[in-house]
A = this chain, B = another copy of it.
Amino acid sequence: MTNLDQAGGVLTVDLDAIASNWRTLKARVAPVEVAAVVKANAYGVGVTPVVRALGAAGCKTFFVATLDEALEVKAALGAPQRRIFALNPPPARPEAAAAAGIVPVLCTIEQVRAWPAGEPAALKIDTGMSRRGLTSGELDTLAADAALIRGLNLVLVMSHLACAEIPDHPLNERQRTAFAAARARFPTVPGSLANSSGAFLPASYHFDLVRAGAALYGINPTPGRANPMRPVVQLNARIVQVRDVDAGTTVGYGATHRFARPSRVATVAVGYADGYPRSLSNRGFGYIGGVRVPLVGRVSMDLASFDVTDVPAAQLTHEGFIELIGPHVTVDDVADAASTIGYEILTNLGRRYHRRYTGANG
């Protein structure tokens, strides 16, 4: 991380908003439990402060991708009564996870066989992602192996929705039915199917545990409808130069933008090496004091330029920063302009930003 006075970008993370989003989801699916997905450094916003804030809010179950991430969450929480599931246990060395009290999500028969008998584990079922988890045929194989079943201490059976953000997608109901059938083989084991968007599907999708990721961090789990979540992230980029240019001048690599009128350009010290995507070239925008400023030219590695001609000069001097994400520009806005999804914007948030955490645990 970079000191504030040296940083090209300042990232502010609202921990109260994350806790509030968790409570919103909890109220929505009650009495079903809501777990927090905090893989990939809590979607890029910073895993240690996030899990502490969520732990303080009452969240008891956390999901990460790797064993290293699980150990980081464990160290941050310091509370043995929390459960940590690792979604991507490596095929080798399951004993490292067991020794640390991490619950792996087993995805293959081989992983089930390799996992120490009696140690808690989750089982993933493939119901339509075709990515990870046991197929129906593999479940038959498992069910037929009495010794294997006896040694298996399952604490969760789970699957993953492929199209939950499209409520009427036919795959949702097919996955729900397939999951219900698979879960019926383990009638005493809690089940989990829904992610953030799944929390907004009917209650029949919620089973015993909802795994919330994107929505915790302010991404809209109901695309096309009003966002029920509070925004979490603000990103402000430091202006390092303001330049007046004549009509006809071009800006940036490849000279891809030509000014039609005499213009004022502000360059900020944030670029694609900071995870501000190059696909925002000539498509992104920011705000200064309520005025929309379009991104002009290509985003470069460490810099990006904005047309600030319409910003009063006093305002420009006074602000010193351009809002890239904040009250006027949502994470989803940035993602739309970059032709991607908010998840990718968040997980690529750069290492050179100065990071500030606000809220009860900030």
The answer to whether A189 has its CB under 8 Å from any CB of chain B is: no
Can you name 22 A-B pairs with beta carbons within 8 Å? A2-B66, A2-B68, A5-B90, A5-B92, A6-B90, A8-B65, A65-B302, A68-B352, A90-B238, A128-B250, A130-B245, A130-B250, A131-B265, A131-B303, A162-B250, A163-B253, A166-B254, A272-B348, A273-B347, A278-B340, A301-B347, A348-B348
Residues of B within 8 A of A65 (CB): 8, 269, 273, 301-302
Q: Which residue of B lies closest to A304 (CB)?
A: B131
Q: Within the complex, which residue of B133, B251, B302, B344 is in contact with A40, where a contact is CB–CB below 8 Å?
A: B302
The answer to whether A341 has its CB under 8 Å from any CB of chain B is: yes
Please give the residue numbers on chain A whose beta carbons come within 8 Å of chain B beta carbons, in ascending order: 2-3, 5-6, 8, 39-41, 43-44, 65-68, 87-88, 90-93, 96, 107-108, 126, 128-133, 135, 162-163, 166, 169, 171, 238, 240-241, 243, 245, 249-255, 265, 267, 269, 272-273, 275, 277-279, 297, 300-303, 305, 339-341, 343-344, 347-348, 351-352
Q: Are A251 and B90 in contact (CB under 8 A)?
A: no
Residues of B within 8 A of A300 (CB): 131
Q: A3-B68, A40-B302 are in contact. Are A243 and B126 (CB under 8 A)?
A: yes
Q: A44-B273, A129-B251 are in contact. Are A66 and B171 (CB under 8 A)?
A: no
Q: Are A348 and B303 in contact (CB under 8 A)?
A: no
Q: Are A91 and B39 in contact (CB under 8 A)?
A: no
Q: Are A243 and B87 in contact (CB under 8 A)?
A: no
- How many copies the complex holds: the figure is 2
Q: Are A272 and B240 in contact (CB under 8 A)?
A: no
Q: Are B40 and A163 in contact (CB under 8 A)?
A: no
Q: Are A252 and B303 in contact (CB under 8 A)?
A: no
Residues of B within 8 A of A303 (CB): 88, 131-132
* Measured CA separation A269–B88 after assembly (Å): 7
Q: Which residue of B lies closest to A91 (CB)?
A: B240
Residues of B within 8 A of A254 (CB): 162-163, 166
* Measured CA separation A133–B277 after assembly (Å): 24
Q: Are B243 and A344 in contact (CB under 8 A)?
A: no
Residues of B within 8 A of A245 (CB): 130
* Measured CA separation A40–B351 after assembly (Å): 9
